[in-house]
Amino acid sequence: MALYVMKFGGSSVGDTERMQRVARRIVEKQDEGHQVAVVVSAMGDTTDDLIDQAKLLSNEPPVREMDMLMTTGEQISIALLSIAINALGRKAVSFTGWQAGFRTESEFGRARITDIHPERVKKALDEGSIVIVAGFQGMTDEGEITTFGRGGSDTTAVALAAAVSADYCEIYTDVDGVYSTDPRIVKNARKLNEISYDEMLELANLGAAVLHPRAVEYAKHNQVRLVVRSSFNHNEGTVVKEEASMEQGVVVSGIAYDKNVARISIVGVSHVPGVLAKVFGSLADSKIDVDIIVQSGVQGGKADFSFTVALSDRERALKVLESIRGDVPYEEVTSEEDLVKISIVGAGMVSHPGVAAQMFDVISKLDVNIKMVSTSEIKVSCVIDSGKLTEVVKALHTAYGLDTENQVFVGGPKDRR
């Protein structure tokens, strides 16, 4: 007998018919002789609908109240799924995040897990129940309800698996596993049988939506056996592990893209020690993540530099820069939208020179300008205009030999959490 944590996203439980199919899938796992804990997201577009309703009432609703509101979506899902499982003659019990023992920091909308006390979960499992836990949510030591941000249910599942020493954590989605790129763009994308934590973390950070970066970090730190598979069939999924065997001849494992990108440029900054520390320290204090940073040459004691932030953080970043203008004089600040960051990832890149040059060549042949570049041992990222995203992804996928003859089946709409 093994202990499984199974996570189902919003599209997997998007309506009562899908809810019943998931319930049968969970019961099948218990019938195999295993203990089962389940983490589930809100049904379909429930969270987006709740956000829309809040914005009809206020342009800037209080973040505390938004967390109170958005956690209700998962509570609906866990109760309905528990009802569906009980209707199949099995014993199931549902827990909110805080009932399951998730404690978090006091940061509404993007809280991180600080501790887990899974005693109630373990007790219910020992009594033979299937345990259903609401993803994406926890509670502070002061009793405030918090949410983990987008992708939070993945993190809930992996963290729960670590806390209860689960043998496997299975993430169920609408495709058969992790693919070499978004199968909605490239229909003949390659399914990866296995991928390393490091490669998966890069892909997740670079925009691949199949797993959230925090979940991968948690899995790597706690050595959780992580499997990504489809909720619509029983095909073998993708195993995320410490080291994955490299397929012969495949240097690039995956291609990711991120549309949530804005570039901000600061022109005419005095080239003196401490300037960059002040700028990026102030952005960090405002919880704004900065990605790629590029500084141009120095002329007349002045320098220009550009950096990227999430498009959703652009306005806040501009306000921060305006607030520090007295301490860091500059001539002007400009920003640019309609950008996309395209990245190639592969553990084999470190020992194969010319991989980046090939990427630049493919992009140039599509008459696309590269605005910024960032590299590491296992990835190369380019920021380009968004207009030819599809063409660039397809061309890179072909250039690195990732095309297959198989057509990917996508079972439902894209999961949001």
Give residue 417's pLDDT.
42
Query: Would you say 10 is a known binding-site residue?
Result: yes
Query: Would you say 90 is a known binding-site residue?
Result: no
The contacts of residue 295 (CB under 8 Å, 6+ apart) are 303, 304, 305
Q: Please indicate, yes or no, if residue 300 is contained in any of the structural domains.
A: yes
Query: Would you say 367 is a known binding-site residue?
Result: no
Q: Please indicate, yes or no, if residue 49 is contained in any of the structural domains.
A: yes
Question: Are 385 and 289 part of one and the same domain?
Answer: no
Question: Are 8 and 99 part of one and the same domain?
Answer: yes
Q: Please indicate, yes or no, if residue 220 is contained in any of the structural domains.
A: no
Task: Give one DSSP letter per residue of 71-134, joined into a string.
Answer: HHHHHHHHHHHHHHHHHTT--EEEE-TTTTTEEE-S-TTS--EEEE--HHHHHHHHTTPEEEEE
Q: Please indicate, yes or no, if residue 99 is contained in any of the structural domains.
A: yes
Coil, strand or helix at 366: coil
Domain that holds residue 356: 339-400
Query: Would you say 305 is a known binding-site residue?
Result: no
Query: Would you say 172 is a known binding-site residue?
Result: no
Burial 314-351 (b: 16+ CB within 10 A, else e): beebbebbeeeeeebebeebebbeebbbbbbbbbbbee
Task: Put residue 234 in one of left, alpha, beta given phi > 0 → left and psi -120 to 50 → alpha.
Answer: alpha
Final residue belonging to a domain, choices 122, 145, 173: 173
How many angstroms separate the CA atoms of 377 and 199, rounded?
A: 11
Task: Give one DSSP letter per residue of 238-279, joined into a string.
Answer: EEEESS-PPPTT----EEEEE---EEEEEEEEE--TTHHHHH
Number of folded domains that form the chain: 3
Q: Please indicate, yes or no, if residue 251 is contained in any of the structural domains.
A: no
Question: Are 99 and 162 part of one and the same domain?
Answer: yes
Query: Would you say 174 is a known binding-site residue?
Result: yes
Final residue belonging to a domain, choices 321, 336, 351: 336
Query: Would you say 291 is a known binding-site residue?
Result: no
Task: Put residue 149 in one of left, alpha, beta given phi > 0 → left and psi -120 to 50 → alpha.
Answer: left
Q: Which domain CATH number covers 379? A: 3.30.2130.10
- Phi, psi angles (nearest 5°) of residue 414: -65, 130
Question: Are 43 and 129 part of one and the same domain?
Answer: yes
Q: Please indicate, yes or no, if residue 94 is contained in any of the structural domains.
A: yes
Question: Are 29 and 66 part of one and the same domain?
Answer: yes
Determine whether 113 is exposed, middle or buried from the number of CB atoms within 10 Å of its CB (0-12, 13-18, 19+): buried
How many angstroms separate the CA atoms of 409 and 401, rounded?
A: 20
Q: Which domain CATH number covers 298? A: 3.30.70.260
Question: Are 275 and 352 part of one and the same domain?
Answer: no
Question: Are 163 and 97 part of one and the same domain?
Answer: yes
Final residue belonging to a domain, choices 173, 205, 238: 173
**pLDDT, tens digit only, all 417 positions of the chain:** 899 999 998 888 989 999 999 999 999 999 999 999 999 999 988 999 999 999 999 999 999 999 999 999 999 999 999 999 999 999 999 999 999 999 999 999 989 999 999 999 999 999 999 999 999 999 999 999 999 987 799 999 999 999 999 999 999 987 889 999 998 899 999 999 999 999 999 998 888 878 888 899 999 999 999 999 988 888 889 999 887 665 555 789 999 999 999 999 999 988 888 888 999 999 999 989 999 999 887 778 888 999 999 999 999 999 999 999 988 889 999 999 999 999 999 987 877 889 999 999 999 999 999 999 999 889 999 999 999 999 999 999 999 999 988 777 666 544 434
Q: Residues 121, 123, 125, CA angle at the centre, nearest 5°?
A: 70
Q: Please indicate, yes or no, if residue 104 is contained in any of the structural domains.
A: yes
Give residue 246's pLDDT.
59
CB-based contact 307:246 (threshold 8 Å): no
Give residue 208's pLDDT.
82
Question: Are 277 and 355 part of one and the same domain?
Answer: no
Query: Would you say 184 is a known binding-site residue?
Result: yes
